């Protein structure tokens, strides 16, 4: 499988990782815990070791599922989890309500240590491979946040430090106070903003880049049935990107790249995942899965390398059909 290294940490992982946001259930219309645990195990069995999770994914639920899935085989996986979205305190800045609880952005020193202990317990482990600040906190100096993370690293509770949802200026501020091993940002064929903002800074400082929503919440997984409805708290319900007009544009796009897909003997989703990790893209694509079948399919994308002609064909088709995607 194609692999990469998480910055200067020396931690090697595949170019595809498993994202567990949907497993937490919140904003995804609920979930199936047994299937989620099986999906995590299937992902590791298929060669994908990086499992990305966060306390905010179901208020600890996704982390608990990861811990259960990896029990007895912790060393087979690389666990990335996060801090900074809290419900044990109302310090920081209010962000949203989850299951009736107010969640705040807060990255104060004591809170980070509290969160780390809670995550370690849910994950049933004594160390976290990559610890990421989930969302940034305007009320806490970056120096204080980074000092806490560096202390956790010295204590052996975390192996590497990451940041997510940052501006280039904020990333530069983190780098002034210590080693950052990875960023985690939204990135896909239709979400490419970081190519001109964060990725050049990462390349300059040897910071790995993890791309979340590599399939754009499922938009790029393949043609979507026009009759499919998203219900409950599923964030895709009412999302204009999932309109009938956009579904028609996406259908035309996938028809356009079908010959390439057939030639490479891969699925549409695998083609899109491989595109995100091409040269000039992100180091690792984080892909959500809620069933073993989805996890196995995503893992196979780490074996797919696109040449310049394939990349050009995808870019040209996207320019024809997706340029005006709302």
For the annotated catalytic residues, the residue numbers are 57
Which among 258, 270, 247 is positioned nearest to 317, based on CA atoms?
Answer: 258
User: Counting runs of H as helices and runs of E as strands, what totals does the chain give?
Assistant: 11, 13
Contact 235, 28 (CB under 8 A): yes
Q: Phi/psi at 217 (nearest 5 deg)? A: 60, 20
Q: At what angle do helices 168-177 and 142-154 cross, to 10 degrees?
A: 50
CA-only gyration radius of the chain, Å: 19
Measured CA to CA, the distance from residue 287 to residue 293 in angstroms comes to 13
Contact 84, 137 (CB under 8 A): yes
Contacts of residue 68, Cβ cutoff 8 Å, sequence gap at least 6? 37, 124
Q: Phi/psi at 118 (nearest 5 deg)? A: -65, -40
The CB density around residue 278, as the number of other CB atoms within 10 Å, is 16
Which among 261, 217, 249 is positioned nearest to 324, based on CA atoms?
Answer: 249
Measured CA to CA, the distance from residue 112 to residue 150 in angstroms comes to 11
Dihedral sign for Cα atoms in the order 281, 49, 36, 23: negative
């Amino acid at each position: 499988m194609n692999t990469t290294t998480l910055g200067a940490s020396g931690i090697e992982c595949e170019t595809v990782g498993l994202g567990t946001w949907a497993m937490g259930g919140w904003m995804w219309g609920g979930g199936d815990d047994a299937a989620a645990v099986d999906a995590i195990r299937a992902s590791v069995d298929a060669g994908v070791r990086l499992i990305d999770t966060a306390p905010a994914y179901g208020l600890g639920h996704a982390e608990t599922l990861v811990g259960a899935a990896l029990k007895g085989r912790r060393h087979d996986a690389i666990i990335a989890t996060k801090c900074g979205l809290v419900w044990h305190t109302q310090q920081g800045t209010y962000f949203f309500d989850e299951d009736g609880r107010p969640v705040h952005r807060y990255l104060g020193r004591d809170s980070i240590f509290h969160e780390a202990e809670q995550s370690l317990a849910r994950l049933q482990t004594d160390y976290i491979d990559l610890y990421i600040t989930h969302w940034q906190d305007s009320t806490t100096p970056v120096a204080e946040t980074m000092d806490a993370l560096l202390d956790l690293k010295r204590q052996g509770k975390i192996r590497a430090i990451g940041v997510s949802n940052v501006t280039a200026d904020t990333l530069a501020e983190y780098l002034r106070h210590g080693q950052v091993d990875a960023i985690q940002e939204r990135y896909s064929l239709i979400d490419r903003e970081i190519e001109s903002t964060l990725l050049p800074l990462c390349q300059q400082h040897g910071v790995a880049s993890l791309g979340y929503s590599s399939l754009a919440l499922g938009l790029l997984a393949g043609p979507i049935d026009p009759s499919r409805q998203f219900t409950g708290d599923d964030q895709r319900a009412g999302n204009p990107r999932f309109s009938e007009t956009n579904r028609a544009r996406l259908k035309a796009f996938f028809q356009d790249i079908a010959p390439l897909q057939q030639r490479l003997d891969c699925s549409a989703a695998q083609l899109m995942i491989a595109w995100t990790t091409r040269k000039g893209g992100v180091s690792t694509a984080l892909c959500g899965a809620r069933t073993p079948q989805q996890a196995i399919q995503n893992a196979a994308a780490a074996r797919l390398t696109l040449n310049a002609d394939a990349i050009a064909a995808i870019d040209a088709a996207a320019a024809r059909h997706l340029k005006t995607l709302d």
